[in-house]
Structure 1
Amino acid sequence: MNSRRYAKVAVKVACSAALALFGASTALAKTAPAARLQVDPKAFTLVHVTLDGKPLALRRYEAVYVRKPVAMAANQPARRMGPGGSPAAADKQVLANPLAYQSLYVFVPEGAKADAAIILNVNNGGWFASELRAGIRDGGSYQSTSNTDKVGAALAAGYVYVDVGTRGRGIVAADGTYPGHAPAAVIDTKAAIRWLRLNDAALPGSAERIVVTGTSGGGGLTAVIAASGDSPDFLPELARIGAAGISRTGKSTLSDAVFAAIAYCPITDLGHADLAYEWLYGPVRSAGGTRGNTGGGQWMPAQMAASARLAAGYPAYLDSLHLKLADGRALTAATMRDAIGAQVIAEVEHHIAQGGTVPARGEPFNIAIPRMFGGSMQITRANDWVTVSGGKVTDFDLGAFLTFVAAITPLKPVPAFDRSHNSGNTGIDGENTLFGAADQAWSNFTPYGWEANDVAGDGSGADDAGLAWKGWITHRGQPLARQLRMIDPFSYLGAEAKARVAPYWYVRHGMIDRDTAFPVEIALSRAIAGDSAVKELDFALPWMTPHSGDYDVQSAYRWLKKVISESGSW
């Protein structure tokens, strides 16, 4: 595939459409001259690190990657995430750098070549806003052979390393609006990619080999970025913030497509993730009695009814995707369970082939598993779901396996994602702050969540809007349909999508990760594999891995080295 084919994309957009897409009330900082986006190759800070015990010098560039960044409020509300959100303990945070959400760091290792890959890190855990943080610190020590040190692996390979700050849910603009609603994180990441292309000739590293990588919400962001390259959907908002390569008439002269994606446990397809979750885990909840294997409360009658209703909607949605398994069969509700089982069985046998062991049926697992934000958890539950003989799985019980997963980490409440103010859930507790109009803190974003909202006066739901879901989603000026589409890789994967899809994908979802349901990730893998532009997909459910990322760095970077060597001019 010739990268020059997408070098120029011409699409006209009206200024009124740009205002409607972004939200006209969102404050913008003063416009800077166009030259501001051009990097000065001599304007860098020298950073000294140790790599495998030896000194290494890097040049660090810092830049605001848009001409018209959004003006942020000095005091930001606290967010309940750890790294990638922040800070968990404070009532509010004072924003030291008002441009932290639309800036980037570029780290260029000594001796980096012009055609080196560029590792672009997105850190939007939970789809929350991600302030710019330096992933490489002066005086830091890194290891190229570590399985959890992607900095060390990248530097040892001579890659350029980029950290990017992006908007996301949980931030407030200077004018009191909410500029982090979807698809802000996607818009900002695309703007950063365009900045890298604008400055491609000035810095080492090739913008034709950008590798975007992230975990959880960042994994979801990674997936949609890799799926939606050069889509005209995003041009109005890119123009609004002054992204590189967008003219006043909406024409694009730069690409925001990427070479590869390394995505861990992507939280994605949020418009349908509740359906998949209950279709898979509803029986596990029911078998759990009044507790229902559900974290955060009892297995209430309202949640039981919600689970059944959501689960019933999943088969038709899955059918609508028209996905195929590797053997050519349609991926449907009837074949999805087999597909999940096949992935788990493959991982068990891979684990054994690598020298691992599996306890006999009835005997306990005794494994310490690292947690995403530090520490570890001990798994001591008995094996009641798999039998192995001669290195091969001879018996597998998917239902028992799902119960095993839920016993390690209790399932999310019902609904898992759009759960604010419905089904007995109180407070804003799902992904709801990712959605809504610019002047709206949050919104229900699925048909069930909207119709079941039972809190009058909260500004969301049919009770307040006076419109059922179908009427609301098509109501003039309502952004929900666009927001859901523009953060969903399924919107762009496939022959009919007007997008430049990344040719290389490395996707991981832990074998005991219940943060989104396995059907979401299986379907994503099949959508990727079914896109004609995709040359290689490496997908797995790694052995006894919870919701986390960057745990198999050696494997990921061996894969990256291989696809780079095989790619030629893509």
Structure 2
Amino acid sequence: MKHRAIKRRNIVIGIGTAAGAAVVGGAAVGAQAAPGGASRSAKDLGSLAFDPGAYTELTTTVTTQNGEMEVKYRFWKALTYVADPVDVKYQSLNVSVPVEIDGTAVDASDAPILLANSIGGYMPSSVADADGVGAGGPPMGGGAPGGGGTPGATTAPASGAGGETNETGGALSSNQLLAVAAGYVVVEPGARGRTLTNAQGGYYGTAPAVIVDLKAAVRYVRANKGRIPGDTERIVSAGTSAGGALSALLGASGDSRLYDSYLRELGAADASDAVFAVGAWCPITDLEHADGAYEWNWGTSPLKSGEQADRTVSEELSSQFAGYQARLKLRGLGGFGPLNARNYDDYLLKQYMRPSATTYLKGLSAADREAYLADNPFITWRDGRATFTWEDFVTHVGTRKKDAPAFDPFDLSSGENNEFGAGMTESRHFTVYGARNDSTGLENRRVAGDIPALLDLMNPMYHLGKGNPGRSRYWWIRLGTDDTDTSHVISANLAASASGLGDDVDHLYYWDQGHGANTDPADFIAWIARVTGHAKRSGRH
């Protein structure tokens, strides 16, 4: 057993959130229970057996809406979660288990487990150098969008952002820190990503490596039931941007047999990879249809240079979106009815944009609200409600982040092209339209034969469309209204698809916020307590 000396880390985060959200809703008072009743013996698990004693005890200070909380927790660092790793630097995870909050002992043995990835831009993510909970995260350098500036908001890099690995920063650190302050167990998995190459120059982190790794991490946690603290039946996945897409994919594809051969090759634990609930912020997903959705949404918006995207390309892609949306046969939330390209703008306004603006304006003082409305005359404020047109909303957002096509450009320049690279080939087209209009000299101008299967492995909409029985039944989806990294349709379709299957969906947009915004983290922590039943078990409501 490796008990090491206590060391202190003081981490303070400001939280701007709605009043009344429970923060310590998961903390059951009492002595820390010793792990026991494991589903498998350590011998059965071999190298994948979790060692309950191999922790460092740390102390951190977390600033919550209820003030500062001192949290003492046990920290297990860089545990390799597969028996035959390709790269242990990335195929490892950290575990944080609170044992004392503000001097009161807590028992996290049946607490929810927050599985929080820090993946941005489908890049590699490592926890190897993290020195405590919430210390790992996407690089906060080039590509991180602006917007908002609300206290408590966090950001993640845009899809395709620069940087080699995700080892510093902390786009989701507010979620992780608030989770341990609530008495939850936090698991932070690393994963391979698209830029990794071996000595011969071969790419070993492209699709579907990242989702396979996250599934293996879930299997590791589940296989160690009774040894690793926390309720392994109540794992809640969380992620932002590409990490949000992967969180949604993890939830949608639980226990799908499509990944079995990849998991066997890694020596993943023989256990379920289903997760109970999903937290997804600005998910960059449904990549094969994202170009069309983007042009439908932002086709009239200028680039930051002031120039317009190619109108022919934009209109052709927007037309493709109309056909795709019709094939989905989705119905909007709130009893809206069938969704199609002709009424989607009305749906977004009624279900998301106007309620988002209304909530924002109600939260301002009378003087600040008057000043905001004076600066934004496109909004009509009457009887405590905001109304405006779709065209005025798009104009208000301003410029678009990406040219056309946004995700599968003709010159193979996007991070998503790299995500579908293979072998010695750095980047490949993954849409027929992109390949047909290739400008790099592609010989046959067709997508490679393995691409369709890879797209299914990487798209939560595929698994939801199949009604996968192993999927999550609870969904927390968030996006900023000013986010032009992808189309607003992408997360709205995800929400509508899950809702259409009867799942519990909590989906809203943050007004005037950009890519990666997370302005209600304490509400997310309270949501976990509610949907997992932990609020009732701990006597907190």
Normalised by the shorter chain, which TM-score bucket? 0.7 to 0.9
Contact 2:80 2:93 in 1 (8 A): yes
Contact 1:125 1:217 in 2 (8 A): yes
Pick from 444, 449, 458: which aligns with 2:434? 449
Post-superposition shift, 1:61? 4.3
Post-superposition shift, 1:48? 2.7
Structure 1: gaps of 5 or more residues: 1-7, 9-31, 72-98, 246-253, 286-292, 367-381, 422-426
Contact 1:117 1:206 in 2 (8 A): yes
Structure 2: gaps of 5 or more residues: 1-38, 63-67, 100-105, 136-150, 155-173
One-letter amino acid matched to 1:416: A
> How many pairs does the alignment contain?
449
Contact 1:115 1:204 in 2 (8 A): yes
Q: Name the residue aligned to 1:56.
A: 72
Post-superposition shift, 1:180? 1.4
Q: Name the residue aligned to 2:459.
A: 488
Pick from 404, 414, 422: which aligns with 2:396? 404
For CA contacts below 8 A with separation 6 or more, give which structure has more relative contact order. 2
Q: Name the residue aligned to 1:331.
A: 339
Partner SS state of residue 254, structure 2: coil
Residue-by-residue CA offset, 1:118-161 (whole Å, 9 max, x unaligned):
11111111111112256663899xxxx96762233211211111
Pick from 521, 527, 530: which aligns with 1:559? 527
Q: Distance in 1 between matches of 2:203 and 2:275?
A: 28
Structure 2 matches for 1:210-225, cutoff 5 A? 210-225=235-250
Q: Name the residue aligned to 1:294.
A: 303
Q: Distance in 2 between matches of 1:159 and 1:332?
A: 41
Q: Distance in 2 between matches of 1:184 and 1:385?
A: 46
Contact 2:410 2:440 in 1 (8 A): no
Q: Distance in 1 between matches of 2:285 and 2:152?
A: 29
Contact 1:66 1:191 in 2 (8 A): yes
Q: Distance in 2 between matches of 1:139 and 1:444?
A: 35
Residue-by-residue CA offset, 1:441-490 (whole Å, 9 max, x unaligned):
1101111111111222xxxx4xx1x2x53xx45xxxx3211111111111
Contact 2:55 2:74 in 1 (8 A): no
Identity %: 32
Contact 1:360 1:383 in 2 (8 A): no
Q: Distance in 1 between matches of 2:402 and 2:60?
A: 41
Q: Specify whether residues 218 and 356 from structure 1 end up closer, same or farther in structure 2 by C-alpha distance, changes over 3 A only.
A: farther
Q: Name the residue aligned to 2:140.
A: none
One-letter amino acid matched to 1:565: G
Q: Distance in 2 between matches of 1:420 and 1:297?
A: 21
Post-superposition shift, 1:360? 8.2
Q: Name the residue aligned to 2:8.
A: none
Q: Distance in 1 between matches of 2:195 and 2:231?
A: 33
Pick from 112, 116, 134: which aligns with 1:117? 112
Contact 1:118 1:207 in 2 (8 A): yes
Pick from 154, 161, 185: which aligns with 2:186? 161
Partner SS state of residue 550, structure 1: coil
Q: Specify whether residues 522 and 54 from structure 1 end up closer, same or farther in structure 2 by C-alpha distance, changes over 3 A only.
A: closer
Contact 1:259 1:504 in 2 (8 A): yes
Q: Distance in 2 between matches of 1:139 and 1:233?
A: 32
Q: Which moved more, 1:157-166 or 1:54-63?
A: 54-63
RMSD: 2.8
Pick from 275, 287, 292: which aligns with 1:258? 275
Q: Distance in 2 between matches of 1:295 and 1:152?
A: 36
Contact 1:164 1:189 in 2 (8 A): yes
Partner SS state of residue 421, structure 2: coil
Q: Distance in 2 between matches of 1:567 and 1:537?
A: 19
Pick from 95, 110, 123: which aligns with 1:106? 95
Q: Distance in 1 between matches of 2:495 and 2:129?
A: 31
Is 1:309 aligned with 2:316? yes
Post-superposition shift, 1:357? 6.2
One-letter amino acid matched to 1:331: L
Residue-by-residue CA offset, 1:503-527 (whole Å, 9 max, x unaligned):
1111001111111111112111101
